[in-house]
Amino acid sequence: MADTMQLVLAGADERDLTKLGEYKAVGGYATLEKARGMSREAVIEEISSATLRGRGGAGFPMGRKLSLVQPPEAAGKPTYVVANADESEPGSFKDREIMSRVPHRFIEGCLIAAHAIGSRHVFIYIRGEYLAEYEVLKAAADEARDAGVLGDVALIIHRGAGAYICGEETALLDSLEGKRGQPRPRPPFPPIAGLYGAPTLINNVQTIANVPVIIDLGAAEYSKIGPEASPGTVVYSLSGNVERPGNYELPLGTTLRELIYDVGGGIPNGRQLKAIIPGGSSVPVFTPDQLDTPADFDSIQAAGSFLGSAAIIAVDDRACMVQLALRAEKFYMHESCGKCTPCREGTRWMVSLLDKIESGRAEHADLDLLRNVCDRVEGRSLCALGDFAVWPVRSYIDKYRAEFEAHIDEGGCPYGGGSSIEGVVAPIDQHTHSPVAEVPA
Ligand SMILES: Cc1cc2nc3c(=O)[nH]c(=O)nc-3n(C[C@H](O)[C@H](O)[C@H](O)COP(=O)(O)O)c2cc1C
Ligand code: SF4
């Protein structure tokens, strides 16, 4: 049985850590003082030796990013810390929990990162729909500012307007600068020329929330948790057809079987597990024979997919994989920013072909064409959204091809209306093709 292990969310079950006094009572902001007493190089060294891998999707080591940022004296410009709180990957809902339950730990991480790169400006870019989280975060930031915790650092919280592409780091920077949020060509990368052309550290909320944990525990202790190359815990967002969906903080490397069956309580209503999406909707799908894969960056990649934002989605045997592919692709088509042709045009082609297959109007040549479009978009787009639009569709075709062929041979969905992707994806408005807006609580 996998046991939860709370480092980032530590103390939040027992106390209201949104309050500064409560956070200080569990040692909060003492780590910031410790870090400020260390040299910048020593802080970077600690994060580097802890091998903290980015929790926003790509798993890039934060220490390496930190050491790429030129200090202000060398750059002749200010440096900036930007926290990516845009969390829009379907299936991912861990940053919202971190911001709403341990906002001060996240702010403390931002301030330690600012010290490490000699920055006096922290920007937090939060997803527009996260109004409740924004209010908690703002109240925490105000309390910290009033108490003098921020020192000479200006902390700015900026609300996005609800675009998935603004989670891509360079689109986020453009959006923050007041421009239309579209990815920039790279190089240069943000540590060299980021916000306002200045050296910028950009990291995910959860990555940053790990920083005080590492400085407090020390890299040596932190590295003992989880696999050697992916140490630490991660907040897995478990969703889909599972008894107990939710956020669970566990050591990296917990297997998919432990997550779905032990932690999540298995598949409801006596159904069978049909597919596992191991890192948010944009990654290649796994089949049930891959359940024993440890959910860490390298193991998932070695097995043919990505851990992404550690959003694990269970899919039961009622789900039609063509419907699921169509639903995912509509999302990527809708969110494509249109700046480059393969993604802008390719996502439309993919939606159109999937729609034809699902409605029984397709021929076998259409399936080959769809597979071909996937190959022509992957690796040819300006940012990774182009790849994200391909990976689910292509992997569904490759792993569940018989289902796609049955739609063509039988002139429609073989589930005959009995298929359901309910619980796996958000309901969609049939006219706008957008998810039905969440009703605020
Ligand atoms: C289309 C797209 C959307 C993304 N959305 C997010 C997001 O919502 N949150 C996030 O942290 N990273 C997101 N990323 C990854 C960021 O570009 C970037 O890699 C990340 O913020 C780096 O932080 P990390 O190293 O701490 O993971 C997205 C990337 C792409 C291509
Ligand atoms: S891949 Fe898509 S989202 Fe990314 S820049 Fe090109 S059109 Fe925009």
**Domain range list for the chain:** 20-222, 236-316, 321-409
- pLDDT tens digits, one per residue of 110-131: 999 999 999 999 999 999 999 9
- Confidence band, pLDDT 50/70/90 cuts, at residue 418: confident
- Write down the pLDDT at residue 419: 81
- Confidence band, pLDDT 50/70/90 cuts, at residue 439: very low
Mean pLDDT of the chain: 94
What average pLDDT score do residues 363-376 get?
Answer: 97
Residue 390's Cβ-count burial label (10 Å; 0-12, 13-18, 19+) is: buried
Bond from prior residue into 187 cis (ω within 30 degrees of 0): yes
Residue 436 pLDDT > 90: no
- Write down the pLDDT at residue 433: 54
Number of the ligand closest to the Cα of 203: 1
Indicate if 321-409 has the same CATH topology as 236-316. no
Residue 392 pLDDT > 90: yes
Whole-number Å distance between alpha carbons of 84 and 109: 13
CATH architecture of 321-409: Up-down Bundle (1.20)
Q: Is the four-CA dihedral 252, 205, 338, 170 of positive or negative sign?
A: negative
- Write down the pLDDT at residue 75: 87
What average pLDDT score do residues 221-240 get?
Answer: 96
Percent of the chain topping pLDDT 70: 96
- Write down the pLDDT at residue 438: 47
Instruction: Name the residue type at position 101.
Output: R
> What CATH number belongs to 20-222?
3.40.50.11540
What average pLDDT score do residues 388-393 get?
Answer: 98
CATH architecture of 236-316: Roll (3.10)
- Write down the pLDDT at residue 197: 96
Ligand 2 center to 351 CA (angstroms): 16
Residues listed for the chain = 441
Whole-number Å distance between alpha carbons of 172 and 420: 35
What average pLDDT score do residues 295-301 get?
Answer: 98
CA distances from 287 to 154, 218, 301, 337, 394 (A): 48, 38, 14, 31, 14
Ligand 1 center to 324 CA (angstroms): 23
Residue nearest to atom 29 of ligand 1 (CA): 168
Phi, psi of 287 (to 5 degrees): -100, 165
Number of the ligand closest to the Cα of 340: 2
Out of 110, 204, 282, 332, mutate this one to test ligand 1's pocket (max ligand atoms within 8 Å of CB): namely: 204
- Write down the pLDDT at residue 441: 38
Residue 417 pLDDT > 90: no
Percent of the chain topping pLDDT 90: 91
Ligand 1 center to 168 CA (angstroms): 5
Residue 390 pLDDT > 50: yes
- Confidence band, pLDDT 50/70/90 cuts, at residue 431: low
Query: What lines the ligand 2 site, CB under 6 Å?
Result: 165, 183, 336-340, 343-344, 381-383, 385-386
Listed in sequence order, the residues at least 6 apart from 134 whose beta carbon sits closer than 8 Å to its beta carbon are 126, 157, 159
Residue 304 pLDDT > 60: yes
Residue in the structure block whose two tokens are 């902390």: 155
Ligand 1 center to 412 CA (angstroms): 37
Residue 168's Cβ-count burial label (10 Å; 0-12, 13-18, 19+) is: buried
- pLDDT tens digits, one per residue of 183-225: 999 999 999 999 999 999 999 999 999 999 999 999 999 999 9
Ligand 2 center to 27 CA (angstroms): 43
